[in-house]
Amino acid sequence: MHVTRETVRDQQNWVAERTPVVTDLINETRAGLGDHFDVDVDTVTVDQVDDAVDAAFADGDRAVNVAAMIAILRDLDVVGDYPGFVVDELIGRELAATIAGDQPLRLLAEATFHYADVRTHGDLDDPEDPEDPGDGAGLDDLDAALAAGFQTRLPGWSWRERPSPFALESE
């Protein structure tokens, strides 16, 4: 794989076209997490996700890594999927974390990736039918990673809307 500025732009454009799907998955994930943790979590709009995509790709050091992982997941397939389970999970989790940013958001995005991933299921290929390529092993993990990473960056969680109770005032 040769990653250039054009590669980064192409991957950003691909994600931008996918934001309606990602937005739906973000809102489904937030609703489920909100119910599970008994908190109200704001939904997000396609415009908010578009802005978060633009922000992630505006940071060149982050963008090149995000673009490379997206390209890998878009192309990744393993016949029967299960033998490739580890690699698509690993790249998906890392993509979510890279999109989200520094700690603690990075770790939250990794955990959220697994929660979102159980809600995505691509059309898997049939190992008995070489004419049925399915959607590729990496595509459902890609959607889960995008949803987990961007939902973590976006506002809507009450604990992120207030100052940390652990911040120490400078003297």
* Domain count of the fold of the chain: 1
- Assigned domain for 139 exists: yes
Q: Does residue 164 surpass a pLDDT of 90?
A: no
In whole angstroms, give the CA distance from residue 66 to residue 167.
Answer: 31
- Assigned domain for 150 exists: yes
Task: Provide the 3-class DSSP secondary structure of residue 41.
Answer: strand
- Assigned domain for 24 exists: yes
In whole angstroms, give the CA distance from residue 13 to residue 17.
Answer: 6
Please report the pLDDT score of residue 83 as a whole number.
Answer: 63
pLDDT tens digits for range 13-64: 999 999 999 999 999 999 999 999 999 999 999 999 999 999 999 999 999 9
Please report the pLDDT score of residue 128 as a whole number.
Answer: 53
- Assigned domain for 164 exists: no
Q: Does residue 11 surpass a pLDDT of 70?
A: yes
Chain CA centroid to CA 92, Å: 7
The model's confidence at residue 138, banded by pLDDT at 50, 70 and 90, is: confident
Please report the pLDDT score of residue 32 as a whole number.
Answer: 94
CB 64 within 8 A of CB 12: no
Q: Does residue 131 surpass a pLDDT of 60?
A: no
The arithmetic mean of pLDDT across residues 139-147, rounded, is 91
- Assigned domain for 168 exists: no
- Assigned domain for 169 exists: no
- Assigned domain for 165 exists: no
Please report the pLDDT score of residue 171 as a whole number.
Answer: 52
**Higher-scoring residue by pLDDT: 8, 89:** 8
- Assigned domain for 166 exists: no
Please report the pLDDT score of residue 132 as a whole number.
Answer: 46
pLDDT tens digits for range 73-130: 998 877 665 666 788 889 999 999 999 999 999 999 999 999 998 877 654 444 455 5
- With a CB cutoff of 8 Å and minimum separation 6, the contacts of 108 are 100, 152
C-alpha distances in angstroms, 100 versus 82, 95, 111? 27, 9, 12
Q: Which domain holds residue 103?
A: 5-156
Please report the pLDDT score of residue 21 as a whole number.
Answer: 94
C-alpha distances in angstroms, 26 versus 65, 90, 125? 22, 20, 26
Burial code (b: 16+ CB inside 10 Å, e: under 16) for 108-146 equals bbbebbeebbeebebebbeeeeeeeebebbbbbbbbbbb
